[in-house]
Chains A and B, each alone.
Chain A
Amino acid sequence: MEPTIVRYLLLAAVLFCIGLFGVLWKRNIIIVLVSIELMLNAVNINLVAFSRLGLAPNINGQVFALFAMVIAACEVAVGLAVLIALYRNRNTSDVKDMNLNKW
């Protein structure tokens, strides 16, 4: 019989893989950003689960989850600003058209 932490880890793994699939598959930049958020949330679930059910439970996992949330907010702000600038200049939100810096 496995301990309870395994179900949280499995949930996070499924969520991470759904996010990975969305990042690789979708072509709309907003949806790619949303999928990255899914992956970050999966990591946060792992952090909080280990902070409660790990071998040495303590509060640090929750603090790291909060820091990850702040970085996620930064990422969304910058990503959406890039999206708005791109849409203004090229009138598209498809990642396939984002080849300005292609070498």
Chain B
Amino acid sequence: MALPVFTGQMIAFILISLLVIGSAVAMLFARKVIYMALLIGGVFIGVAGIYILLDADFVGFAQVLIYAGAITILMLFAIMLTNHGSQEQTPVNTHSVMAGLAAGGLLALLYWGFNSVDWTNWQQISPKDPVPPWGDSSVKAVGDAVYNVYAIPFELVSVVLIVALVGAIILARKGEE
């Protein structure tokens, strides 16, 4: 195997990956619930960086707006409304060992899968042409695709969003009694 060449993109990828995985692991082992909700913001922002590395600017900014903005704040509201300041103590028992075995087993299976794939076709196109197939404006390309090719799924997904929000309000509303 040839030595990896440390281009700027590679270094950025390594740093962002460290941020994402470090935040995720720290999220699992943080002491207080509120710290967990704050650490998940690091994961979301790191994933947005990954999207920008992949020339998907629009998805990256949507990630920052939706996940790092809206969903993290929603989580913080929920924590503050319920059991803020609670210490999350999860016992180490057979259940947690089984959970770890399941997750580790899946990771091992996926790694084995990556190693057993024949990447020769990818190899030929792997030194990518620097310009992505959608040109230099992914915003324009995404808008084009959403409003032409995916117009009906887009409308359906907005209906799903409305139904979910109305259902959430009805669920969280105080009862009549």
Contacts and interface: CB of A to CB of B under 8 A. Distances in A.
Interface in A60-103: 60, 62-63, 65-67, 69-78, 80-85, 87-88, 93
A58 to B, nearest CB: 6
A81 B172 contact: yes
Contacts of B33: 28, 30-31
A1 B124 CA distance: 12
A22 B28 contact: yes
A64 B63 CA distance: 13
A80 B119 contact: no
Contacts of B169: 81
Contacts of A7: 13, 17
B164 A78 contact: yes
A63 B150 contact: yes
B54 A55 contact: no
Nearest to A21: B103
B6 interface: no
A59 to B, nearest CB: 5
B74 A67 contact: no
Contact of A59 (B67, B145, B161): B145
Nearest to A24: B99
Contact of B122 (A25, A55, A59, A71): A55
B107 A13 contact: yes
Given A18-B25, A71-B157, A63 B122 contact: no
B78 A83 contact: yes
A20 B168 contact: no
17 contacts: A21-B103, A26-B90, A27-B90, A30-B37, A30-B79, A34-B40, A41-B43, A51-B54, A59-B142, A59-B144, A63-B149, A69-B63, A73-B70, A77-B164, A77-B165, A84-B82, A93-B83
Interface of B: 1-2, 13, 17, 20-21, 24-25, 27-28, 33, 36-37, 40, 43-44, 47, 50-51, 54-56, 58-59, 62-63, 66-67, 70-71, 74-75, 77-79, 81-83, 86, 88, 90, 95-96, 98-100, 102-104, 106-107, 110-111, 114, 119, 121-123, 125-126, 128, 132-134, 138, 141-142, 144-146, 149-150, 153, 157-158, 160-161, 164-165, 167-169, 171-172, 174
Interface of A: 1-11, 13-22, 24-28, 30-31, 33-34, 37-38, 41, 44-45, 48-49, 51-53, 55, 57-60, 62-63, 65-67, 69-78, 80-85, 87-88, 93
